[in-house]
Amino acid sequence: MLVVMKFGGSAVESGERIRHISNLALNYQQNMGFDVILVTSAVKGMTDEILAVAESVKKGDKTTVNQFVDRLKRLHLSIIDCSIFDEAKKKEAKNTVSELVDLIQNVLHGMLPMREVTPKMLDYLLSFGERLSTFIVSVAIEDIGGSSQYLVGNDAGIVTDSNFGEALPLMDTTKLNVSHRLKPLLAKKVIPVITGFIGADQFGNITTIGRGGSDYTATIIAAGSRADEVWLWSDVDGLMTADPKIVSDARVIREASFAEALEMALFGAKYMHPRALEPAIESNIPMRIRNFMKVNDDGTLVVSNPSKDSHKIVKAISSIRHTALIDVSGVGMVGAPGTAGRIFDTLAKNKVNIMMISQSPSESSISMVVKKEALQKATSTLELSLLGRVIKKIDVKEDVAVIAVVGSGMRGIKGVAARVFGAVGNKNINVIMIAQGSSELNLAFVVNDMDCVEVVRTIHGEFDLNNS
């Protein structure tokens, strides 16, 4: 059985944890007979730190840059001290890490005089987070007695387009490369240890595949290597019926469909990257979401066709907080072909992502939900491009939350929406906007952000999701 195991940032944030996950991987390979491929993230919080230092470069702040470099080196050298015990291996690992840190320092210092960080250079900088942590994991496996091979994502075969920051893999080429490069290693019982998040375009330039991209890397590698399963190891127990920070008795969902997991990921569940599901769906590779500190717990299994026992009417309540609602209206929108297309195209060209849409039957208004940080850009774009022509009025409501009720069991069941909105109405909470697709897999609506917690708890209780 071939399993691709992805370990998130919390699993590599200390030497003790790296030692733990290295033992975990080796146990599956040596004692259970699995073939294992590892994909690892950067140390928790490191990507944000690199993004922050890139902003310091733009300000010409050499002091902050140097402080970051010192902290980066000290952190990873201390991780080595607690994860690698053989003195020769420890010395070699520290030398390699020091060389990588010197390299990022040289790059940062080279950009300081220009006070500019291009998307291409930012991707190169961001790659160091994964490169450092993944290298240490690979050496830790060797230190314990295993055989491993450290690979940057592009060395493993991941080829992408040149859309730096949100690169898309060229899947046909990538699959061939991954199969060709990893099969010989697996045949020799070597564990490939691959950086998440990183690929390279056809010209060899380092690219990144978006925040949370290590999940995506894992499923890309799984598709290319024809893995039997993908396991996403993190510090959560699996997909949950609700955010446990909101609902204290939320429980783990033992089995979910790909479609349900995708809806949960899109609507606020932070346990997997939405794009990670695409290669798994196309190749029909089951996924498990597991807690690396609870190795005897199976977590959540995500498959194309869950067992009948897992079919509840509603499976989970997801939420996205701190969003904003934009309502555009105008009599001229009525019956005018292409109006919605012009609005959405204008926002897309300015890189404003629309999270949710609703249109009145009269066609005189369209409501859209965007992230709060994109609100100013969205409204100014619409005002400059369309106000006074297609659009006559723009209304904005800040601080709203999107609530999503997810479950394939809702299909064809009468009264689900009535129960949802009845329960919300009984709490005297106003629903601002509603959207539901014809698949009936997801019922989404918008409320004031201050009502989010109570709404999630109310619906969770209405459908008794705290009980198996």
How would DSSP label each residue in 205-274? Answer: -EEE--TTHHHHHHHHHHHHHT-SEEEEEESS-SSBSS-TTT-TT--B-SEEEHHHHHHHHHTT-TTS-G
Compute the distance between CA of residue 366 and CA of residue 332 in angstroms, rounded to an integer. Answer: 13
Read off the amino acid at residue 252: V
Nearest to 459 by CA among 414, 406, 413: 406
Compute the distance between CA of residue 327 and CA of residue 301 in angstroms, rounded to an integer. Answer: 39
Digit-coded pLDDT (tens) for 384-397 = 887 777 778 889 99
Give the phi and the psi of residue 63 in degrees, each rounded to 5: -60, -50
Contacts of 339 (CB under 8 A, 6+ apart): 333, 363, 390
Angle between helices 339-349 and 375-385 (to 10 degrees): 130
Angle between helices 171-187 and 213-225 (to 10 degrees): 70
Question: DSSP class of residue 331?
Answer: G
Digit-coded pLDDT (tens) for 328-374 = 887 767 777 777 888 889 899 998 999 999 887 766 789 999 999 99
Q: Is the pTM here over 0.85, yes or no?
A: yes
As annotated, the residues of the chain forming the CATH 3.30.2130.10 domain(s) are 316-462
Question: What is the DSSP track for 5-72?
Answer: EEE-GGGSSSHHHHHHHHHHHHIIIIIT--EEEEEE-PSTTHHHHHHHHHHHHHTT-HHHHHHHHHHH
Digit-coded pLDDT (tens) for 76-129 = 999 999 999 999 999 999 999 999 999 999 999 999 999 999 999 999 999 999
Q: Maximum Cα–Cα distance for the chain, whole Å?
A: 76
As annotated, the residues of the chain forming the CATH 3.40.1160.10 domain(s) are 2-235
CA 413 to each of CA 265, 314, 382, 442, 453: distance values in angstroms, whole numbers, following the listed order: 24, 11, 39, 13, 26
Compute the distance between CA of residue 278 and CA of residue 111 in angstroms, rounded to an integer. Answer: 36
Q: Is 151 helix (H, G, I), strand (E, B) or coil?
A: strand
- Rounded to the nearest integer, the mean pLDDT of the chain is 93
Q: What is the dihedral of CA 147, 209, 372, 365, to 10 degrees?
A: -140
CATH tag, 316-462: 3.30.2130.10
Angle between helices 119-144 and 15-26 (to 10 degrees): 60
- Evaluate whether 83 touches 15 at the Cβ level (below 8 Å): yes
The topology (CATH level 3) of 2-235 is Carbamate kinase (3.40.1160)
- Evaluate whether 359 touches 365 at the Cβ level (below 8 Å): yes
pLDDT, tens digit only, all 468 positions of the chain:
999 999 999 999 999 999 999 999 999 999 999 999 999 999 999 999 999 999 999 999 999 999 999 999 999 999 999 999 999 999 999 999 999 999 999 999 999 999 999 999 999 999 999 999 999 999 999 999 999 999 999 999 999 999 999 999 999 999 999 999 999 999 999 999 999 999 999 999 999 998 778 999 999 999 999 999 999 999 989 999 999 999 999 999 999 999 999 888 887 666 677 889 999 999 999 999 999 999 999 999 999 988 865 668 899 999 999 999 999 887 767 777 777 888 889 899 998 999 999 887 766 789 999 999 999 999 998 888 877 777 788 899 999 999 999 998 888 788 999 999 999 999 999 999 998 876 778 999 999 999 999 999 999 999 999 886
